[in-house]
Amino acid sequence: MGKEGNASQSWGSTGPGMLLRLIRTADRWTKTELVRESGLARTTLIERLEHLQSAGYVTSNKQPTQTGGRPAETYSFNDQAGYLLVADIGGSHVRVGVTDLAGILLATSERDLNPEDGPDAVLGGVIDDLDGLCRTGKLDPSRIRAIGVGVPGAVHEGVLSRPEISGWESTSVAGCFAQAFPQVPVLVDKDANIMARGEQRQNPEKYQNMLVLKVGMGLGCGIVVDGRILQGAAGAAGSIGHIPRGGNVQCSCGQWGCLEAVASGRSIAKALLDAGQEVHTSRDIVNLVRKRDRQALDLVRQAGRELGEMLGLVAAVMNPSIIIVGGNLAESPEPLLAGIRESIYSRFLPSLTSGLEIRPSVVGSAAGLTGAAELALEALLDPARIDESITLGQSWR
């Protein structure tokens, strides 16, 4: 079937992998449509389709015609050929799920967690959560195609390079999951980036340049420039929570004056606890906001002002069309968004803010899991990877 080192080169730039990428952009295709859109000769197209069908990546569908003649044959991506496992691990909460190969969530679960328990205990618990979903759904382990994971902190090559949690330095998140699910690709990125992927999926053409702010007990920011997630040299692009802004409040990272020290769920919870309120999670803060607790409303709005000041600076550099605010603290968004808008619209020039949309997430808590699925699919269905698998005779059947 050919040597592994030459797998992708043997197909050139019009191999089965690129054809599969085209097929995934619509529900169904005829051969005539695929010839027109791909630029392939009909005989070459048929050969590529046969390879993709044989490997299980594409299915054919017989559709009756209006004239009652020979059924028309169309081709679709085989999104039922397996499952993805996805996890969105935050600073105090975790969500896990199972999706099909279209990234559609089939089952989910969520719970609180304590990151101070350490990476072995926390990641082991998340793996147990995923295993529980698989057992409940009676999933065949051999049909798990990839795993996508979001974590609170910058990630470089599957390793936490700049974690938001003390004691998690140099943790190989990918390695932990790979031990539990051998032979399954594991893709890891910071939680704000997978949230940005989940938001972008809703309208890829519109969301070419955007900021996605995740506000929970900590802070995260995903940056999309020209349709691509900005990663940075060590995966730390968008780490606005630990930009020093002055002041005498110490952050959980050990620095003084970080944005997160004054504008996160953790900082709000501390102020409320000091005032005698029983508050431990971002959900507790949201519940107080919904009850119109005056102190909680004021603290959340002030946090929004602080966030707006920093977001405005980032927006001045990268010129987004939209800023989306998500995360647990944004589940009751009125005071938070009001503070963000107040700072941005009052402090920055109209030439920057004109046409800038600032709004809450429409995807909500599912954004992270949806984005983790996108992360996994992007790697799993990379054209070079598909070409190599076909060359080596691998399949999903």
Q: Confirm if 74 and 63 have CB atoms less than 8 A apart.
A: yes
- Average pLDDT of the segment spanning 129-135: 95
Cα separation of the two ends of the chain: 18
Name the token pair of 9. 């080169």
pLDDT, greater one: 7 or 68: 68
pLDDT, greater one: 23 or 2: 23
How confident is the model at residue 3, as a pLDDT? 37
CA distance 380 to 184: 10
Listed in sequence order, the residues at least 6 apart from 279 whose beta carbon sits closer than 8 Å to its beta carbon are 268, 269, 272, 273, 285, 288
How confident is the model at residue 194, as a pLDDT? 96
| Dihedral pair phi/psi, residue 201, rounded to 5° | -60, -30
Is pLDDT above 80 for 141?
A: yes
Is pLDDT above 80 for 1?
A: no
Q: Using pLDDT thresholds of 50, 70 and 90, give the confidence band for residue 246.
A: confident
Q: What is the DSSP string of 307-362?
A: HHHHHHHHHHHH--SEEEEESGGGGS-HHHHHHHHHHHHHHS-HHHHTT-EEEE-S
Residue/partner pairs of 53-62 with CB below 8 Å, 24 or more apart: 54/395, 55/16, 55/389, 55/390, 55/394, 55/395, 55/396, 55/397, 56/81, 56/395, 56/396, 56/397, 57/16, 57/20, 57/81, 57/386, 57/396, 58/20, 58/23, 61/28
CA distance 208 to 227: 4
Please, which residues bridge with residue 188 across strands? 149
| Residue-wise pLDDT tens digits, 201-217 | 988 888 999 999 999 98
Q: Using pLDDT thresholds of 50, 70 and 90, give the confidence band for residue 176.
A: very high
Report the share of the chain in percent with pLDDT over 90: 70
Report the share of the chain in percent with pLDDT over 70: 95
Q: Confirm if 316 and 348 have CB atoms less than 8 A apart.
A: yes
Give the predicted TM-score (pTM) of the model: 0.89
CA distance 176 to 272: 36
CA distance 335 to 41: 58
Name the token pair of 276. 């005698």
Name the token pair of 321. 């069309």
**Which amino acid makes up residue 214?**
K
| Residue-wise pLDDT tens digits, 338-355 | 999 999 999 988 888 888
| Residue-wise pLDDT tens digits, 274-325 | 999 999 888 899 999 999 999 999 999 999 999 999 999 999 999 999 999 9
How confident is the model at residue 70, as a pLDDT? 66
Helix orientation angle between 282-290 and 265-274, rounded to the nearest 10 degrees = 70
How confident is the model at residue 203, as a pLDDT? 87
Q: What is the DSSP string of 43-86?
A: HHHHHHHHHHHHHTSEEEEEE--TTSSSPEEEEEE-TTS-EEEE
Element spanning 145, H or E: strand 144-151
CA distance 297 to 18: 51
Name the token pair of 153. 């902190």
CA distance 261 to 215: 13
How confident is the model at residue 4, as a pLDDT? 41
Q: What is the DSSP string of 288-321?
A: HHHTT-HHHHHHHHHHHHHHHHHHHHHHHHH--S
Q: What is the widest separation between alpha-carbon atoms in the chain? A: 79
Name the token pair of 149. 């994971």
Is pLDDT above 60 for 9?
A: no
| Residue-wise pLDDT tens digits, 348-390 | 888 888 889 999 998 888 999 999 999 999 999 999 999 999 9
167 exposure class (CB count in 10 Å sphere: 0-12, 13-18, 19+): exposed
C-alpha pair distances (Å), 223 with each of 59, 195, 200, 274, 323 = 36, 10, 11, 34, 10
In the chain the domains, ranked by start, together with CATH numbers, are 4-78 (1.10.10.10), 83-196+368-379 (3.30.420.40), 205-361 (3.30.420.40)
Name the token pair of 330. 């944004």
State the chain's mean pLDDT as an integer: 90
Place of tokens 């619509």: 26
Name the token pair of 55. 């490997």
